[in-house]
Structure 1
Amino acid sequence: MQSNDARTLLHCAVPTAAVGVVAVAVSSVLAGGKGAFGAAFGAILVGAVMALDLLVLQITAKRFPQLFQMMGLALYVVQFLLIAIVLAVFKDTSLFNLRAFAFSLLAATLVWIAAQTRAHMTAKTLYVEPEAEDERKPEGAKSAAPAGSPS
């Protein structure tokens, strides 16, 4: 993983974790232990799914740059489906407070997306590979003398 990729992941994970901690604290006060567990589960689920997708997208960008945009769109669909499956599986659960889980999931998702957008907008990514000075000179130009003058 390149340093800018790790920086992007860090800039997304830290605010999301902070929102998760706040969601757990608020949910524990409002809904007790089950609320805290639901909020923690929601924040951890978002962090895991989003981080995994960001890593897969970065690997795809390095190995298959022509598939980058398509893979990004496919990963958004996969994220949606994974979270929809988790919601369907736990819709009638009594393990945790569903309302705390839902609000934590929503807050963590919005914070991750905002942080990822900010990280990409502030990143100093080169769009063009800079050439070395030797690579700029044409093959036949060894001297600075004009073409018609005797050397």
Structure 2
Amino acid sequence: MPSNDARNLLQTAAPTAAVGVIAVAVGGAVVGGKGALGAAVGTVLALVFMGAGLYVLQRTAKSLPQLFQAMGLMLYTAQLLLLLIFVALFKGTSLFDPKVFAITLVIATVVWMAAQARAHMKAKIFYIDPDSQKSEKPEKTGSTS
């Protein structure tokens, strides 16, 4: 993974994980062990889904840059629908608290998206290649008068 991709992943995953730790503590304090487990599962699920989506998006950007924007929109839509399906599937579970799970999943997803937008805005990515402009300029030959 190139350093820019790794930096982007770190800048998005770290705030999400931090919010997850806070959610586990709050869920454990408010609901108990099942609340902490629900918050942990919600955080891990958000990290896995959004991390996999970032990986797919970066691979698409490298191999098929013309599809990058369409792929990004389709990917976020698919991720949100899949997360909604997970919330619906675990609605009546007794393994962990489903309300804490759903709230944590939504909050972790929103934090991931906000952190990803911030990381992209802070990244210094050239949208033109300065070296290619130097090589494409024709050299002046002949008299300058």
TM over 0.5: yes
CA positional deviation for 1:106: 1.9
Aligned AA for 2:2? Q
Percent sequence identity over aligned pairs: 55
C-alpha distance in 1, partners of 2:103/2:126?
38
CA positional deviation for 1:123: 0.5
C-alpha distance in 2, partners of 1:112/1:80?
12
Q: Deviations over 1:41-86 (max 9, x none)?
A: 0111111111110110010001000000110011012101211221
User: Which residue of structure 2 aligns with residue 146 of structure 1?
Assistant: 143
C-alpha distance in 2, partners of 1:120/1:44?
23
User: Which residue of structure 2 aligns with residue 5 of structure 1?
Assistant: 5
C-alpha distance in 2, partners of 1:126/1:48?
29
Q: Which runs of 4+ in 1 moved over 6 A?
A: none
RMSD: 1.8
Unaligned runs of 5+ in 1: none
Q: Which protein is bigger by CA-based radius of gyration?
A: 1
After superposition, the Cα gap between the structure-2 partners of 1:76 and 1:137, relative to the gap in structure 1 and judged at 3 Å, is closer
Number of equivalenced pairs: 145
What is the TM-score normalised by the length of structure 1?
Answer: 0.88
CA positional deviation for 1:3: 1.1
User: Which residue of structure 2 aligns with residue 82 of structure 1?
Assistant: 82
C-alpha distance in 2, partners of 1:137/1:114?
41
1:73 aligned onto 2:70: no
What is the TM-score normalised by the length of structure 2?
Answer: 0.92
